[in-house]
Amino acid sequence: MTRRAVVQGVGHYLPERLVPNCEFETTLDTSDEWIRARTGIERRHFVADGQGTSDLAVHAAEAALRDADLSPEDVDAIVLATSTSDLTFPSTATMVQDRLGMTRGFAFDVQAVCAGFIYALANANALIVSGQANRVIVIGAESFSRIMDWTDRSTCVLFGDGAGAVLLEGREENGNSDDRGILSTDLNSDGRFRDILYVDGGVATGTIGHLRMQGKEVFRHAVEKLATTARTAVSKIGLKESDIDWIVPHQANLRIIKATAQRLGHSMEDVIVTVQDHGNTSAASIPLALSVGVADGRIQKGDLIVTEAIGGGLAWGAVVLRW
């Protein structure tokens, strides 16, 4: 028998304020047509004044707990992926722990920008497989609207706010690729590329800073690295790309999503796409897409899923799991 981290619940939360592309036309030299054609994005949600990443994360965690029919005291750990923590410290994860009323166990943040949820899943999987925790809430939550330069049309139209969560539980499975749960992970980073996507503020500057991106460069790396990491993760368990039922990619740009699916030999019918409705919600985009895919009945128990992401660092990776 092999211990596997199996998804027992999933949920998400989007802040109320819905912002269509046309809203940017009043302040920037841009158009709904340009944004749709170059990115696939049609709308995104933004947090309200006074609303923070921890607020979004609490709602998503509660939804995942409801879906798993569990309460906070049943949970051993929270692993939360974010680059837009409410404060420098404490971690957003411990704020969520408190708000859920969870007084035991442990909670910590993971920071790998848009690849954050992949890194968080890999960490939670390691905790479960090694017996350090049995039930872990894995959350991706972001308020990227807080770090936008609203005068930079090449970045501020791309991002959105939101949160998604899964509840992972340790289960004894057979030890083969038919098992439910996380079957393989592949993590990578290369700090030589840190300058093509970063925030120009932090403790060193005493400011929050704004997101800066060389879009074309990031695009080039994304198309090349996402298919490679997905292929590596699938091959680690002796499966082929054609065995994949669903690709659940990081939702940054529809053109990147299409190019990656094509490289993996899949049509867009096998891909969960939410970028049109959410924009790029960084670490929240994959659990949001998983939650949407389950809620509308596409993702079913037993389906083989590959999920992949790339973000600032550069950091990238993939996780293969059977739902």
Q: Interface residues with ligand ACO (CB under 6 A)? A: 30, 34-35, 38-39, 113-114, 153-154, 157, 197, 215-216, 218-219, 222, 252-253, 256, 280, 282, 311-312
Helix 285-295 × helix 116-129 angle, to 10°: 80
Of the CA atoms within 13 Å of residue 258, those in its CB half-sphere come to 6
Judge residue 114's burial from the number of C-beta atoms within 10 Å of its C-beta, 0-12 exposed, 13-18 middle, 19 or more buried.
Answer: buried
Q: Which is nearer to ligand ACO, 111 or 123 (CB)?
A: 111
What's the closest the beta carbon of residue 4 comes to ligand ACO, in angstroms? Answer: 29
Q: Which is nearer to ligand ACO, 114 or 118 (CB)?
A: 114
Active-site choice (12, 45, 114, 123): 114
Q: Rounded CA gap, 28 and 101, in Å?
A: 44
What's the closest the beta carbon of residue 264 comes to ligand ACO, in angstroms? Answer: 17
Is 174 one of the catalytic residues? no
What's the closest the beta carbon of residue 269 comes to ligand ACO, in angstroms? Answer: 23
What's the closest the beta carbon of residue 30 comes to ligand ACO, in angstroms? Answer: 3
What's the closest the beta carbon of residue 153 comes to ligand ACO, in angstroms? Answer: 4
Q: Which is nearer to ligand ACO, 65 or 252 (CB)?
A: 252
What's the closest the beta carbon of residue 109 comes to ligand ACO, in angstroms? Answer: 16
Q: Which is nearer to ligand ACO, 32 or 173 (CB)?
A: 32
DSSP output for 141-176: EEEGGGG--TT-HHHHTTB-EEEEEEEEEEEEE-SS
Could you tell me which residues come within 8 angstroms of residue 98 by beta carbon, excluding any fewer than 6 positions away? none
Q: Which is nearer to ligand ACO, 105 or 215 (CB)?
A: 215
Beta carbons within 10 angstroms of residue 132's beta carbon = 12
CB 158 within 8 A of CB 218: no
What's the closest the beta carbon of residue 273 comes to ligand ACO, in angstroms? Answer: 14
Judge residue 308's burial from the number of C-beta atoms within 10 Å of its C-beta, 0-12 exposed, 13-18 middle, 19 or more buried.
Answer: buried
Q: Which is nearer to ligand ACO, 138 or 211 (CB)?
A: 211
CB 46 within 8 A of CB 161: yes
Could you tell me which residues come within 8 angstroms of residue 43 by beta carbon, excluding any fewer than 6 positions away? 18, 19, 20, 21, 276, 277, 279
Q: Rounded CA gap, 128 and 106, in Å?
A: 13
Q: Which is nearer to ligand ACO, 36 or 171 (CB)?
A: 36
Is 221 one of the catalytic residues? no
Active-site choice (12, 59, 210, 250): 250
Is 280 one of the catalytic residues? yes
CB 158 within 8 A of CB 197: no
DSSP output for 86-105: SSSSS-HHHHHHHHHT--SS
For 163, the token pair is 């949160």
Task: List residues with catalytic annotation.
Answer: 114, 250, 280
